[in-house]
Amino acid sequence: MRAEALIAARFVARFIDVTGQTRALANLAGMRRARQRGRGVEFDEVRAYAAGDDVRAIDWRVTARSGTPHTKLFHEDREQPILVAVDQRAAMKFGSQRCFKSVMAAHIGCLALWSGLQAGERVGGAVLGDKGIADSRPKRSQHAVLKVIRDLVHAGTPQSDNSAEQPSIADLIQQLERISRPGTRLFVISDFHDLLDEDHLAPLRRLARKTQVVAISVADTLEAELPRAGYYSVTDGDNHSQLDTGISGIRESYAADYQSHQSLIARRLRELRIPLLAVRTDDEPLKRLLTVFPAR
């Protein structure tokens, strides 16, 4: 994974606004209408009441002191920090088409970070690697994006020692609970292979109550369907084996199991009102994001 390509994503990011809300995003979450989180109101000033003002905003204390009606004015608080969490564990270092899942996840994450920064928001992130989690708190600075890029490049580099216990998606979510604030728009980018454990869903449920979580699943075509009938050598990096895809019914059974697992992930996220955007390694990252986020 090259840092230069992730830095260059800032030029492409100007075409999309990941801070926006669209009907497509709301539909992915199973909502009937878009619900903006992180958009509040903040007190501005008090002035004399004018015809047409909302009577609910009348400042009764000032009205009592002055003897004439006064109303409170508010301005909208537009801050919505962008936090991007990217899975870079061993299971993500796989791809048969254009790139590894880990590389696609990194590019999507950086697009979201650069887009959020260009919208004037504070941005930060967390990278889940084979040996732990590296995070950076949201800041309104290019250095915040560059810090995440450094973490992505480091986590994307093959590790020689995999003896330590690999952190889970639940560890990442718990870390996000600690560094996120109410109103944050949070992108979680992973293949979610270990999401369905109830112990892993529990922290995500808590996180979804205070932030606007957007889940982006990254998959590869070869994961969804086995290659044509034949003998193949396969490895997970440590162990080697032979795979015979010519066995009667094995390809159909594999495809059905994969689709069942993906459908269950989507259903669990939908129950939490979390939109899920599916991305493949042969997709164009910007085009996929533009299907649910507004163009700028």
Does residue 75 fall inside a structural domain? no
Q: What is the pTM of this model?
A: 0.82
Query: Which tens digits make up the pLDDT trace of 142-176?
Result: 999 999 999 999 998 876 665 568 899 999 999 99
Query: What per-residue string of b and e applies to 189-221 under the rule 16 or more CB within 10 Å gives b?
Result: bbbbbebeeeebbebbeebbeebbbbbbbbbbe
Q: Are 132 and 167 in contact (CB under 8 A)?
A: yes
Does residue 213 fall inside a structural domain? yes
**pLDDT attached to residue 198:** 80
Three-class secondary structure assignment of 131-165: CCEEEEEEECCHHHHHHHHHHHHHHHCCCCCCCCC
Residue-number span of the structural domain to which 264 is assigned? 3-33+80-290
Number of domains present in the structure of the chain: 1
User: Which of 111, 175, 99 is CA-nearest to residue 137?
Assistant: 175
**pLDDT attached to residue 2:** 87
Does residue 17 fall inside a structural domain? yes
Q: Are 184 and 81 in contact (CB under 8 A)?
A: yes
**pLDDT attached to residue 199:** 82
Does residue 209 fall inside a structural domain? yes
Average pLDDT over residues 235-255: 87
Does residue 139 fall inside a structural domain? yes
Query: Which tens digits make up the pLDDT trace of 172-222?
Result: 999 999 999 888 999 999 999 999 888 888 889 999 998 999 999 999 999
Would you say residue 39 has pLDDT above 50?
no
Does residue 284 fall inside a structural domain? yes
CATH code of residue 229: 3.40.50.410
User: Which of 269, 283, 12, 10 is CA-nearest to residue 145?
Assistant: 10
The rounded distance, in Å, linking the Cα atoms of 284 and 259 is 22
Does residue 39 fall inside a structural domain? no
Q: How many residues does the chain have?
A: 296
Query: Which tens digits make up the pLDDT trace of 73-98?
Result: 765 556 789 999 999 999 999 998 88
**pLDDT attached to residue 163:** 59
**pLDDT attached to residue 211:** 92
**pLDDT attached to residue 40:** 47
The rounded distance, in Å, linking the Cα atoms of 14 and 109 is 14
Count of other CB atoms within 10 angstroms of residue 231: 9
Query: Which tens digits make up the pLDDT trace of 2-13?
Result: 899 999 999 999
Does residue 99 fall inside a structural domain? yes
More reliable by pLDDT, 156 or 1:
156
The rounded distance, in Å, linking the Cα atoms of 105 and 280 is 10
